[in-house]
Structure 1
């Protein structure tokens, strides 16, 4: 795998602000074109979002497997056709497809979290031309999903480099290797990715440290931390050398980055 700093997705050098589900507000529900537009208007170059797959094979941008939390409707996205999904009112907006988001924001880069099973892989790949692959970082906690979408995008893009971040299985190997300074094991664990995306702490255990950041940078791997909404936390993490902040408040994060 090529190091992150050699790939178009990561140019120019960070730190990067990844707008988590856009910049949601009263008139802009999360993961809608309106929320993405607010983030872009605030200055965000990176949009973090989630992909589900409809019954008829469309990649749509929606976090949950079902509509219950957002609308009270218990039906799963996977059991609905695109036309049914897009008739659902999300408070004045609707669920967009990945293709619509790519077209609506041609200068934005997307952090695409694959929430559906690997069946979503060809759905996402089908709407990506080779030049759009440079605008997408593929991520999933599930290694099957991550590898499936990366493989599908790679086939669709030909020789273009598919960028992805570490799955949970990769992190379970990589983080102990980093703690014990097993450089070879760490490199092998992350050989297929250019980034890790982690919380600063997990169940009270610190994950992100200056040492971890330095170790991963030596391998050409970026460190993105989620979900960081407090400006003091943002500044502290940037001081540790992290490359990206995944945040619900991209407006605040961009101000912190600009003040450095």
Structure 2
């Protein structure tokens, strides 16, 4: 019969092994921290200041939206008009790049950001490529003929066409994603899903995505354990958007998703 001291050593060894396995398992399922439009909770969205803040807060990826100007330049802005986030009015497609960059894209958020401009995608890459990954949303691509080609050209020009370059392209528009995938099949594709599109993640539709999609990315309000399990069973990864509260973050982490988009990248 083993003495109490030996049993105690064995007990501690088993406890240590169990804790180590738990830590390793947790690390394996640690989701990517993705800054929503940069750090939209702290700075004017989709601006250099916002992206810089997200980087400082430890984000792994920047989530950003692209649209196209009248002169065919890709710019980083969420809405199809400049009304909400600048001091101007009108559709993005009706401005040239110099015109749209003359607008103030910071004062609406706080006066200390006065003079912040709408960046071009090229400027964002110049500043942040190699420092952080990019989750790029093709925003309303049906408004912008050839926007998929424009994005593909920009990525090829910078040699961002291999999987290790930390680029993911996503959209709600399936046809646009198919076109982009045909142009650059090496770039992972994510399909966005909102509440009204719940039927999009039926088993039938998930099977239909398999030829071009790597990520199925639902809105947080529609997420549950069964849904995430089904997405994973079909071989997809998943990124959840958009987390704004710490309590929501804790619940989502327990689902073992691959990424979490948040206005506050420092939530943990």
Q: Note the residue ranges of structure 2 that are not aligned, 5 or more in a row.
A: 1-27, 106-113
Native 8 Å contact 1:146 1:167 kept in 2: no
Q: Structure 1 residues 14 and 187, CA, compared in 2 at 3 Å: closer, same or farther? A: farther
Native 8 Å contact 1:166 1:190 kept in 2: no
**Correspondence for 1:140 among 142, 167, 171:** 171
Other-structure match for 1:114: 138
Q: Note the residue ranges of structure 1 that are not aligned, 5 or more in a row.
A: 1-11, 155-159, 202-206
Other-structure match for 2:188: 163
TM-score by length of 1: 0.77
Other-structure match for 1:200: 220
The answer on 1:94 being equivalent to 2:92 is no
Runs of 4 or more off by more than 6 Å in structure 1? Answer: none
**Correspondence for 2:236 among 212, 216, 221:** 221
Q: Structure 1 residues 194 and 125, CA, compared in 2 at 3 Å: closer, same or farther? A: same
CA offsets 1:120-156 (integer angstroms, 9 cap, x no match): 222222221363133321111112222233333x1xx
Q: Structure 1 residues 72 and 33, CA, compared in 2 at 3 Å: closer, same or farther? A: closer
Distance 1:127 1:223 in 2: 26
Q: Which has the larger radius of gyration?
A: 2
Distance 1:97 1:87 in 2: 12
CA offsets 1:59-91 (integer angstroms, 9 cap, x no match): 110001111111252211111111111111113
Q: Structure 1 residues 55 and 151, CA, compared in 2 at 3 Å: closer, same or farther? A: farther
Distance 1:148 1:86 in 2: 29
Native 8 Å contact 2:29 2:257 kept in 1: no
Other-structure match for 2:127: 104
Distance 2:254 2:51 in 1: 28
Write the mapping of 1:14-163 to structure 2, written as runs, cut at 5 A.
Answer: 14-24=30-40, 28-90=43-105, 91-106=114-129, 107-115=131-139, 116-117=141-142, 118-129=145-156, 131-133=159-161, 134-152=165-183, 154=184, 161-163=186-188
Return the offset for 1:220: 2.9
